[in-house]
Amino acid sequence: MIQAILSFDVDAETPILVEGRRYADNAGVMSHQAYGPLVGVPRIVELLAAYELPATFFVPGLTAERYPQTVERILEAGHEIGHHSYAHFSPFDQDEAAERADFERALAALDRFGVEPEGFRCPSWEPTWHTPALVAEYGLAYDSSLMDSDRPYLLETSAGELVELPVHWSLDDWEQYAYLPRPPFKSPIESPQKVLDLWTSELDAMRRYGCLFVLTCHPFLSGRPHRVEILRSLVEHALDTKDVEFVDGREAARRARADDGLQRRRLEPVVVDEQVYPDY
């Protein structure tokens, strides 16, 4: 039996605005992103209810403030809400003070809904070497941002331990569907049938190797009608196998921490020889 996590990053306008606040004047692209919290999330919540499945929704603080009804809808359905920054800035583009300020602002935004997040997902999956320690310092139980494994492990930081629930681009709908002319996010708009084959094949391979299946979707992308039906087909395929159990991130982290044989790791920064790799 393997565990599968259905996770949804409710980014709304945030990944567009980090490319420049001038995009706030582009009503077309703003409406494209608003589709996620307004239409995609309710549709996904209904799908999950039909199969009585748990899920984790990573919600930026700005999204929570702009769409409180969406946050309430997720909570009323009993799903987990995770920390996904405030404004969706990549820590790779911030100094430590800015990252901390954004992290705290996101906590305050979620606290207004009574949410004390247990998990963190880094914007764009671009943590710095000190990001996990920041997450541990604020008492969160797990992170879901790294790609150096396909099974949970215990991540040791200077501020304490975290369970890491690893992710990968191949199980992210952004690479499959995210097309915009401006800002230039120009992934090909793949056929949802092709995406279904990709994800079910990966699930079946992970069943063989005993991995953790973490699917990452964005409601403004996978909330579209045909794509929701692909999620339905993936869920039904997984349930038919009889050896896939759907859990949310916090439950996966709890089970991992209870495993006495869980592998431990510490992030080791890559030290670069400037004579070999000059800074371009």
Q: Taking 80 as the threshold, does the pLDDT of residue 273 lie above it?
A: yes
User: Is 89 in a helix, a strand, or coil?
Assistant: coil
Quick: pLDDT tens for 125-135.
Answer: 999 999 999 99
pLDDT at 80: 99
CA gap 87, 161 in Å, rounded:
26
Mean pLDDT of the chain: 97
pLDDT at 187: 86
Token pair 């044989």 is found at: 261
Indicate the pTM of the whole model.
0.97
In the chain, the percentage of residues whose pLDDT exceeds 90 is 96
pLDDT at 186: 85
The pair of three-digit structure tokens given for residue 33, joined into one six-digit string: 């992103």
Q: Taking 80 as the threshold, does the pLDDT of residue 280 lie above it?
A: no
Quick: pLDDT tens for 2-38.
Answer: 999 999 999 999 999 999 999 999 999 999 999 999 9
User: Is 63 in a helix, a strand, or coil?
Assistant: helix
- The residue length of the chain stands at 280
CA gap 53, 49 in Å, rounded:
6
Domains along the sequence of the chain with CATH: 2-266 (3.20.20.370)
CA gap 36, 13 in Å, rounded:
9
Is 75 exposed, middle or buried, given 0-12, 13-18 or 19+ CB atoms closer than 10 A? middle
Give Cα 157 distance to the centre of its chain.
21
The beta-carbon contacts of 15-18 under 8 Å, at least 24 apart in sequence, are 15/88, 15/123, 15/124, 16/180, 16/183, 17/87, 17/88, 18/87, 18/88, 18/89, 18/90, 18/123
Residue 247 near residue 3, CB atoms below 8 Å: yes
Quick: pLDDT tens for 246-261.
Answer: 999 999 999 999 999 9
Quick: pLDDT tens for 96-113.
Answer: 999 999 999 999 999 999
In the chain, the percentage of residues whose pLDDT exceeds 70 is 100
Quick: pLDDT tens for 222-234.
Answer: 999 999 999 999 9
| Number of other residues whose CB lies within 10 A of the CB of residue 72 | 12
Quick: pLDDT tens for 53-109.
Answer: 999 999 999 999 999 999 999 999 999 999 999 999 999 999 999 999 999 999 999
What mean pLDDT comes out for the span 235-245?
98
Which helix (H) or strand (E) covers residue 221, if one does? helix 219-222
The pair of three-digit structure tokens given for residue 169, joined into one six-digit string: 């681009």
User: Is 57 in a helix, a strand, or coil?
Assistant: strand
What mean pLDDT comes out for the span 159-181?
97
CA gap 236, 258 in Å, rounded:
29
CA gap 134, 107 in Å, rounded:
13
CA gap 154, 114 in Å, rounded:
27
